[in-house]
Amino acid sequence: MRIGIVLYPTFGGSGVLATELGMALANKGHQVHFITYRQPVRLSAFNANIFYHEVRITTYPLFEYPPYESALASTIVDVVLNQKLDLLHVHYAIPHALSAYIARQILRKNDGIRLPVITTLHGTDITLVGKDKTYEPVVTFSINESDAITAVSDNLKEETYKSFHVKKDIEVITNFVDVARFSKKPIDAFRKAVAPNGERILIHASNFRKLKRVDDVVRIFAKVRQHLPAKLMMVGDGPERHAAEELSRELNICDDVRFVGKQEQMEDIMVISDLFLLTSEYESFGLSALEAMAARVPVLSSNAGGLPEINVHGVTGYMAPVGHIDEMADYAISILKDDETLGRFKQAAFDHACKFDIHQIVPRYEALYESVLAAVV
Ligand code: GMT
């Protein structure tokens, strides 16, 4: 198949997932055309089946806000015509599903082409931004105009039906992880550089938005640190990073907390870690937690949104209500207190991650594409 994938190219989970999906489809022989405004961060290796089409955003003194939807729709039209795409798969509804709809109308009217569109809902496009009045009518309309809709968790499917008048069926296709890549052997020298005296390594990775509650991560770590030698790695960047750094100074733990910024080789970092922390107010899924589990790292998370669908309480880690820092710290200590317990959680996390392996989930997207194509012809 010739598949167009529209995505955000940044470090956010939807962009990561869309890139990994495209690369997996290309490895299976499909021709994949990524359409976005910058080279996606996880798109590094050369593959003869992968193409990247940049959406050029031209500026003009009149435009305080350049019309990205229009530029994207025009690029989609161009790619469909020149690359003879069979279908378009857009990740994150805003504004991608709308641009897909516009492109489809243009192609139908001008060229008599019927472009099948699949929209995958990821999280904040529904729960935070999408249901805001500013966007809701457009999101509802463009979701309903898609030929197929998928959501990355049962929770997100429910949230979508609750907040939007979606008349169509939403298929849940969960996020996935390339277990083989994340379960690599840890690099000892790297582990020693972070934890020279064999301290436990706790890790958090996100885009440091308010919703991630990174302060909670720092506070939980401070409590754990009182009970056992430990280091904390904070991976990523975003608006709350500075406040989290300040807090670690205030709590006098800054020597044990490393802010390492955005990282491309997440597998190398995950695999040297002992516990992944995800304290978010909401996660539709929590892809970073799944990547941690594939690297044999148990997860301590909040129980918000779709997190209970991947983190099995008492087995792959623990969950507590949002903001329950003391409870979370107690759980962290109980996982990290001895090697035997930690080893048990590590193995269980890995076993559970295998159920979300890329080789299990990608065929579900292929089957969906086939069924959409069959319905359109
Ligand atoms: O919240 C983020 O970190 C970014 C956001 C995105 O769309 O890039 O992530 C959402 O999609 C991810 C991939 O499906 C999910 O794993 C995240 O849970 C989801 N974030 C939220 O729901 C807050």
Contacts of 258 (CB under 8 A, 6+ apart): 194, 231, 232, 233, 234
pLDDT of residue 11: 67
More confidently predicted of 342 and 132: 342
- What is the CA(159)–ligand 1 centre distance, in A? 14
Q: How far apart are CA 303 and CA 323, in angstroms?
A: 10
User: Measuring CA to CA, how many Å separate 237 from each of 98, 244, 269?
Assistant: 29, 11, 16
By most ligand atoms within 8 Å of CB, the mutation choice from 11, 14, 152 for ligand 1 is 14
Whole-model pTM? 0.94
Flag whether pLDDT at 364 surpasses 70.
yes
| Sheet of 275-278, strands arranged across | 257-261, 230-235, 200-205, 275-278, 299-302, 317-320
By most ligand atoms within 8 Å of CB, the mutation choice from 287, 301, 309 for ligand 1 is 287
Flag whether pLDDT at 60 surpasses 90.
no
pLDDT band at 20 (very low <50, low <70, confident <90, very high): very high
- What is the CA(12)–ligand 1 centre distance, in A? 6
Q: Which atom of ligand 1 is nearest to the CA of 12?
A: 8
Please give the average per-residue pLDDT across 129-141, as a whole number: 86
pLDDT in tens, 27-54: 999 999 999 999 998 887 889 999 999 9
pLDDT in tens, 86-105: 999 999 988 999 999 999 99
User: Measuring CA to CA, how many Å separate 238 from each of 16, 42, 207, 261?
Assistant: 17, 18, 5, 9
Q: How far apart are CA 317 and CA 257, in angstroms?
A: 22
Flag whether pLDDT at 235 surpasses 80.
yes
Q: Which atom of ligand 1 is nearest to the CA of 156?
A: 22
φ and ψ at 120, to 5 degrees?
Answer: -105, 125
- What is the CA(321)–ligand 1 centre distance, in A? 19
φ and ψ at 373, to 5 degrees?
Answer: -60, -40
pLDDT in tens, 220-231: 999 999 999 999
- CA nearest 336: which of 191, 215, 196, 198? 198
Q: Which atom of ligand 1 is nearest to the CA of 288?
A: 16
- What is the CA(288)–ligand 1 centre distance, in A? 9
Percentage of the chain beyond pLDDT 70 is 99
By most ligand atoms within 8 Å of CB, the mutation choice from 5, 122, 302 for ligand 1 is 122
pLDDT of residue 237: 94
Question: What domains, with CATH codes, occur in the chain?
Answer: 2-176+357-376 (3.40.50.2000), 179-356 (3.40.50.2000)
By most ligand atoms within 8 Å of CB, the mutation choice from 285, 299, 356 for ligand 1 is 285
pLDDT of residue 61: 83
- What is the CA(277)–ligand 1 centre distance, in A? 15
pLDDT in tens, 260-302: 999 988 999 999 999 999 999 999 999 999 999 999 999 999 9
pLDDT of residue 44: 79
Burial 192-206 (b: 16+ CB within 10 A, else e): eebbeeebbbbbbbb
Tell me what the pLDDT averaged over the chain comes to: 95
Q: Which residues line ligand 1 (CB under 6 A)?
A: 12-15, 17, 92, 122-124, 152, 175, 206-207, 211, 282-287
Q: Which atom of ligand 1 is nearest to the CA of 282?
A: 23
362 close to 25: Cβ distance less than 8 angstroms: yes
- What is the CA(124)–ligand 1 centre distance, in A? 7
pLDDT in tens, 294-351: 999 999 999 999 999 999 999 999 999 999 999 999 999 999 999 999 999 999 999 9
pLDDT of residue 340: 97
Closest residue by Cα to atom 23, ligand 1, is 283
Q: How far apart are CA 97 and CA 95, in angstroms?
A: 6
